[in-house]
Amino acid sequence: MKIDPMRRLVLSLLVLSCAFVAGCAKNESGSPSSSSGSSAARTKLQGSGASFPAPLYLRWFKDYEKESSTVYVDYQAKGSGAGIQDLINETVDFAASDAAMTAEEIAKVKNGVVMLPMTAGKVVLAYNLPNGPAEVKLSREAYCKILMGEITKWNDPVIAACNSGATLPDVAITVVVRSDSSGTTHVFSTHLSAVNPQWKEKYGINKTINWPNVSHLVKAPKNDGVMALVKQTPGAIGYVEYGFALQTKQPVATLENQSGSYVKPTTQSGQASLASVTDVPEDLVVWIADPVGADCYPIVSYTWLLCYQKYSDPAKLKAVHNLVDYCVGEGQSISESIGYIPLPPSMIEKVRAATAKIQ
Amino acid sequence: MKNTIGTSLKFERTIDSAFRRVCWTLALLTILLGGLIVFEIFYHATPAIKKYGFSFLTSSQWDPANEAYGVLPEIWGTFYSSVLALIVAGLLGVSVAIWLTQNFLPSRVEWFLKTVVELLAAIPSVVYGLWGFYYVIPMLRPFAGWLHEQFSWVPFFSTPFTGPGILPAALVLGIMILPTVASISRDALSAVPSRLKEAAMGLGATRWEVIWKVVLPTASRGIGAALVLGFGRAIGETMALAMLAGNSSRLTLSLLSPSNTLAARLANQFPEAGPSEASALMFAALVLMALSLSANVFGVVINLRARYKLARVGVAR
Amino acid sequence: MSMSPATQQEFDTQSLFYNRWKSRSLRNSLMNWVSGSIALIACLPLLSLLGMVIYRGSRALSWSSFVELPPAPMQEGGGFGNAMVGTITMVSIAALLAVPSGILTAIFLAFLGPDSKLAEAVRFVARVLSGLPSILAGVFAYAMVVLVMKSYSAFAGGVALAVLMLPIILLTAEQSMRMVQARLIEAAVGMGCTSAQVVRRVLLPTAFPGILTGVLLAVARAAGETAPLLFTALFSNYWLVQEGQLKLAEPTASLAVFIFNFSGSAFDNLVEMAWSGALILVLMILTLNLSAQLLAKKLQR
């Protein structure tokens, strides 16, 4: 009998798909990233959350994967809000957030939560100002007013006042903020609320803010998206974690701190801010809204890894322990090169102690 | 057929009736699928519908922290960007359709133009977004800046150009719906009986007099359907708008200002939404569905009636 | 055009000749130019877009793009192999769901009960569904699959894409089956064939190229869809096949979402990667489209 065309199609599709699946499987075993000859099944940890520490986490997890060879970590930088939501829905093994969970949120997690600071970062105001001066200084009044939409030009007298000697171009400001629920926004609004009573009253502290309804404010998802938009838009200014600005070589503003001095975001100024908080509570949730000290960078925050207290799968439990060990140990040495602040030794000890709660 | 005709026949009959039943069931399932889509979205939106009701459509807040939701700016943004896109696509699409149908071009060039327009329809939305973000926005920047400086008293140019915003979004959206408008208008134009055109030409009318006074009026319903269907498509476009509109919910006339649309709101907020926000988003999806389905049904109906009318023109004279 | 018979003798025959400087002719050629340049402008975006995608996409493209996993920011190399595998898998799932049901429904519409009320209703629903915003297909799959399975999955992505493919397949298959000459079918029926036999021996083989065209178009459309996958399949940095198992119930990468995620990045290497992904995706889709068009052309002959 002649094979009719329909049947031929079905047959060829079948053959194709078989070949395809076989090809994938082969590809998998042949790829250099998987360890050679490992007979034990690898454990996968699924994580999601903050984009603030994402460049560092992705690097850590890749390095850790190479070292451990039995564990691999899939981290989706969806934003802190989404991470916490996933943790509550139990669709992940761990989450990450720069806004520690609220008591209300913790109550929703059946297996309990352990919050572990992994690193700390500086929120910076990255900008894109063609023909601008080498350094832009922003006073507390200036950056609050920019974010509240009250300053619309780079050569506004308020900005000019703190940049005496420099000539600021007559360029319109575009403010870039986060469109998603974000821990970075939480950190930033915490600081603004501490600094500016008007902000506190109107916008407050949250992962999402009802931003001023002005036409020069654009929203983008995640730290990465804000950074990309700033990079792409002349006259733009936006808040991101320092690492994003460092690695994409965008200039960042020098900010006025509580004691009135202008400070650049460096590891030293960040560490000074971390050191300004001395008593750490047991749940390791520390807010540094507005650090005191002449050499403190004003907007600094820890960022947390959110783990369950109980893991039913022993392989996953072990993997989480090992992962945390790696991150607060060896991992700390590369934080600085990516733009983050290494944890103070005292904090590392506390994190190690807290890890015991994960069972 | 084999020699045991009786059993074979019976076997074939069983197969046949089973086959008929399967086809019938699947046809029914297609309708059920349509119903199920409406039901699922409606069902999940119910908590939000009960809680916010009509004010959801008239309020302009989106505040997950205080559970206050409204989509007025998104509805406005959806409409505004779609109307602007329709102006772009209508102008370009109808011109292309005229050039494709009124014997302007040698057949090879005609084929080229037709293929170009069809390929536009094949390019994925996300690639349009990528192109728009890295090429259209920088290209518009000097021009838009000049518009704002010279004409800031005109409400359309009253705000400085931010980059992502209504203008780039509507332009790219217009290009995206161009194939829909062009191909349906083309069908309408080529359905105009050539006798009508020939009669007008025989009276000495120039080509464009024929087009303006005979072809376009006769095909007007079909072109209307093309515009409505293009509008329906524009309302539902997601990715390019999520990447180009600026995600900032504003009620504004300014073309240079950022904006947001219903579909872009869904794309951006859904992955991270908590229960109350998810329900509000489902409500927004319902609004979007109502808008796009009514545009579509309206367009399909006009198109069918236009064809019917043209068929009658053909018979009556 | 008024011409009274009384003035026939003094009629200026010159007026019958074409004069390009008459206002009517001028208006005509002006319109030629205006609409011609508008039609030309309509071609520019495609040329610009394709040019940019090819130019920027080919720069970072290499063999590793196809076989490696997405890179971390500022990391050398990397690729989107897992995203390609994910796209192919999800489109296959969608095709498995939509192709058989679409063709069987089309058989009902074109052959078994073309004038029934049910057929009318199905046609209407299919036409309306073909205009359904793609993101709503995603919302539907989210509600139907993700909320039930409590996890983002390749399967949910496949369901969302199937909803988008179904009306395209259904409508084109019906159309091509209707183009099968009635005398072929009548001859088969006259010989005593059952409906199933007519369909298998006459209708499907004859309409096959047309059906295949529709399937190819539907696959091309589904491969490029991003919005319905954003919150059904999500994304993954790993291969779909892990430890020799096909993980269809886990978050899955796709080329379209890969482009979306990486295009908004501030890191140059990721943006370059997004362009390369766009080039591959556009090539895949254009190939499918062109083969569908060639098929359709062959069919017309």
Q: What is the pLDDT of residues B137-148, one digit of tens each?
A: 999 999 998 999
Q: Residue A207: what are its φ and ψ, rounded to 5°?
A: -80, -25
ipTM (interface pTM): 0.90
Tell me what the mean pLDDT of segment A199-206 comes to.
91
* Exposed / middle / buried, residue A314 (Cβ in 10 Å: 0-12, 13-18, 19+): exposed
Residue C285 CB contacts under 8 Å (≥ 6 apart), including other chains: B122, B123, B124, C220, C223, C224
The H or E element spanning position B57 is helix B55-58
| Cα dihedral B92→B97→B100→B101 (10° resolution) | -150
Q: Which residues of A touch C (CB under 8 A)?
A: 4-6, 9, 17, 20-21, 24-25, 27-28, 31, 33, 41-42, 44, 46, 54-55, 58-59, 62, 72, 74-76, 89-91, 220-222, 224-225, 227-231, 244, 247-248, 250
Q: Do B113 and C39 touch (CB under 8 A)?
A: yes
B250 shares a domain with B149: yes
CB contact residues (below 8 A), chain C span 129-158, against chain A? 150-152
Note whether residue A11 is domain-resident: no
B112 shares a domain with B42: no
Q: Residue C18: what pLDDT?
A: 77
- The CA distance from C38 to B113, in Å, is 12
Tell me what the mean pLDDT of segment A177-205 comes to.
91
Long-range contact pairs involving C246-251 (C-beta distance under 8 Å, separation at least 24): C246/A21, C246/C89, C247/C154, C248/C89, C248/C93, C248/C153, C248/C154, C248/C155, C249/C149, C249/C151, C249/C153, C249/C154, C249/C155, C250/A46, C250/C151, C250/C152, C250/C153, C250/C154, C251/A46, C251/A74, C251/A76, C251/C151, C251/C152, C251/C153
The CATH number of residue B262's host domain is: 1.10.3720.10
Tell me what the mean pLDDT of segment B10-28 comes to.
92
Q: How far is CA B38 from the centre of its chain?
A: 19
Confidence of residue C3 (pLDDT cuts 50, 70, 90): low
- pLDDT tens figures, B229-273: 999 999 999 999 999 998 888 888 999 999 999 999 999 888 777
Q: Do A228 and C151 touch (CB under 8 A)?
A: no
Residue C215 has pLDDT above 50, yes or no: yes
B35 shares a domain with B120: no
Q: Using the structure block, give the residue that is written with the tokens 């180009």.
A: B244
Instruction: List the single residue in B with minimal CA-CA distance to A205.
Output: B65
Partners of chain C (3+ Cβ pairs below 8 A): A, B
Strands A236-241 and A174-178: parallel
Residue A286 has pLDDT above 90, yes or no: no
Q: Do B163 and A229 touch (CB under 8 A)?
A: yes
Q: Do C42 and B117 touch (CB under 8 A)?
A: yes
Residue A234 CB contacts under 8 Å (≥ 6 apart), including other chains: A128, A129, A130, A171, B141
Last residue within a domain, chosen from A256, A274, A300: A300
Sheet of strand A43-49, all strands in order from the earlier edge strand to the far edge = A71-76, A43-49, A94-97, A300-308, A113-127, A236-241, A174-178, A217-220
Tell me what the mean pLDDT of segment A211-219 comes to.
89
Residue A167 has pLDDT above 50, yes or no: yes
- The CA distance from A217 to A205, in Å, is 19
Confidence of residue C15 (pLDDT cuts 50, 70, 90): confident
The overall average pLDDT reported for chain A is 84
Note whether residue A36 is domain-resident: no
B76 shares a domain with B47: no
CB contact residues (below 8 A), chain C span 74-93, against chain B? none
A150 shares a domain with A93: no
Tell me what the mean pLDDT of segment C121-147 comes to.
92
Confidence of residue B1 (pLDDT cuts 50, 70, 90): very low
Q: Residue B260: what pLDDT?
A: 93
Q: Residue B182: what pLDDT?
A: 95
B309 shares a domain with B201: yes
* Exposed / middle / buried, residue B156 (Cβ in 10 Å: 0-12, 13-18, 19+): middle
Note whether residue B77 is domain-resident: yes
Cβ neighbours around A112 below 10 Å, total: 14
- Which residues are bridge partners to C245 per DSSP? C242
CB pairs under 8 A between A and B: 75
Confidence of residue A287 (pLDDT cuts 50, 70, 90): confident
Q: Do C118 and B24 touch (CB under 8 A)?
A: yes
Tell me what the mean pLDDT of segment A286-298 comes to.
87
Q: Do C208 and A74 touch (CB under 8 A)?
A: no
A264 shares a domain with A126: yes
Last residue within a domain, chosen from A276, A300, A324: A300
Confidence of residue A63 (pLDDT cuts 50, 70, 90): confident
Residue B165 with chain A: CB contacts under 8 Å: 218
Q: Which domain holds residue B35?
A: 1-52
- pLDDT tens figures, A65-111: 888 878 888 888 888 888 888 888 888 899 998 888 888 888 888 88
Residue B248 with chain A: CB contacts under 8 Å: 211, 217-219
Q: Residue A281: what pLDDT?
A: 81
Q: Which domain holds residue A287?
A: 122-300
Strands A174-178 and A217-220: parallel
Q: To the nearest whole angstrom, how far is the Cα of B123 from the nearest Cα of chain C?
A: 6
A169 shares a domain with A90: no
Residue A169 with chain B: CB contacts under 8 Å: none
A182 shares a domain with A220: yes
Note whether residue A322 is domain-resident: yes
Output the six-digit token pair for B238: 């997601």
A132 shares a domain with A60: no
Residue B117 has pLDDT above 70, yes or no: yes
% pLDDT > 90, chain A: 33
Q: To the nearest whole angstrom, how far is the Cα of B97 from the nearest Cα of chain C?
A: 9
Helices (H), chain A: 5-30, 54-68, 80-89, 103-107, 140-147, 157-161, 183-195, 197-202, 222-232, 242-248, 267-275, 314-328, 332-338, 345-355
**Nearest CB neighbour to C227, from listed B22, B26, B238:** B238
Backbone Cα Rg of chain B: 25
Q: Do B268 and A181 touch (CB under 8 A)?
A: no
- The CA distance from B114 to B299, in Å, is 23
Q: Which of A1, A58, A252 to mutate to test the interface with C (most CBs of C within 10 A)?
A: A58
Q: Determine contact: C274 vs chain A, CB below 8 A.
A: no
**Nearest CB neighbour to A210, from listed B63, B165, B268:** B63
Q: Residue B3: what pLDDT?
A: 54
CB B226 within 8 A of CB B302: no
Write out the DSSP string of A82-105: HHHHHHHHT-SSEEEESSPPPHHH
Instruction: List the single residue in A with minimal CA-CA distance to B136.
Output: A232
Residue C107 with chain B: CB contacts under 8 Å: 23
Note whether residue B265 is domain-resident: yes
- Which residues are bridge partners to A240 per DSSP? A124
**Nearest CB neighbour to B160, from listed A82, A172, A179:** A172
- Our count of domains for chain B comes to 2
**Nearest CB neighbour to B272, from listed A85, A211, A213:** A85
CB contact residues (below 8 A), chain C span 7-26, against chain B? 24-25
The overall average pLDDT reported for chain C is 89
Last residue within a domain, chosen from A281, A300, A319: A300
The CATH number of residue A61's host domain is: 3.40.190.10
Q: To the nearest whole angstrom, how far is the Cα of A357 from the nearest Cα of chain C?
A: 27
**Nearest CB neighbour to B125, from listed C226, C275, C282:** C226
Residue A76 with chain C: CB contacts under 8 Å: 234-237, 251
Q: How many contiguous H segments (helices) and E segments (strands) does chain C have? A: 13, 2
Q: Residue C262: what pLDDT?
A: 92
Output the six-digit token pair for A350: 């506390």
Note whether residue B107 is domain-resident: yes
Q: Do A91 and C246 touch (CB under 8 A)?
A: no
Residue A35 has pLDDT above 50, yes or no: no
Q: Do B160 and A179 touch (CB under 8 A)?
A: no
Residue C92 with chain A: CB contacts under 8 Å: 17
Q: Which of B22, B101, B123 to mutate to test the interface with C (most CBs of C within 10 A)?
A: B123
Q: Do C38 and B92 touch (CB under 8 A)?
A: yes
* Exposed / middle / buried, residue A294 (Cβ in 10 Å: 0-12, 13-18, 19+): exposed
Q: Residue A75: what are its φ and ψ, rounded to 5°?
A: -110, 120
CB pairs under 8 A between B and C: 251
A113 shares a domain with A143: no
| pTM > 0.90 | no
Note whether residue B161 is domain-resident: yes
% pLDDT > 90, chain B: 62
The overall average pLDDT reported for chain B is 90
- pLDDT tens figures, C145-202: 988 888 889 999 999 999 999 999 999 999 999 998 889 999 998 998 888 989 988 9
Q: Residue C248: what pLDDT?
A: 87
Q: Residue A3: what pLDDT?
A: 44
A101 shares a domain with A68: yes
Tell me what the mean pLDDT of segment A295-305 comes to.
91
Tell me what the mean pLDDT of segment A311-340 comes to.
89
Q: Residue A32: what pLDDT?
A: 37
Q: To the nearest whole angstrom, how far is the Cα of A275 from the nearest Cα of chain B?
A: 32
Residue B198, sorted as left (phi over 0), alpha (psi -120 to 50) or beta, turns out to be alpha
Q: Do B289 and C144 touch (CB under 8 A)?
A: no
Q: Is C52 helix (H, G, I), strand (E, B) or coil?
A: helix
- The CA distance from B39 to B43, in Å, is 6
Q: Using the structure block, give the residue that is written with the tokens 């807010």.
A: A287
Amino acid sitting at position B139: M
Per DSSP, B250 falls in state -
A253 shares a domain with A231: yes
CATH architecture of C82-300: Orthogonal Bundle (1.10)
Choose from A40-54, A269-283, B70-84, B293-307 the range with maximum mean pLDDT. B70-84
Q: Do A228 and C271 touch (CB under 8 A)?
A: yes
Q: Do A55 and C264 touch (CB under 8 A)?
A: no
Tell me what the mean pLDDT of segment C54-58 comes to.
94
A295 shares a domain with A310: no
Residue C45 with chain B: CB contacts under 8 Å: 120, 175
Residue A54 with chain C: CB contacts under 8 Å: 73
Q: Determine contact: C293 vs chain B, CB below 8 A.
A: yes
Note whether residue B57 is domain-resident: no
Q: Do C105 and B27 touch (CB under 8 A)?
A: yes
B188 shares a domain with B225: yes
A322 shares a domain with A250: no
Instruction: List the single residue in A with minimal CA-CA distance to B245.
Output: A218
Residue B310 has pLDDT above 80, yes or no: no
Note whether residue B65 is domain-resident: no
Q: To the nearest whole angstrom, how far is the Cα of C42 from the nearest Cα of chain B?
A: 6
- Among B23, A16, B121, A5, residue whose Cα is nearest residue C299: A5
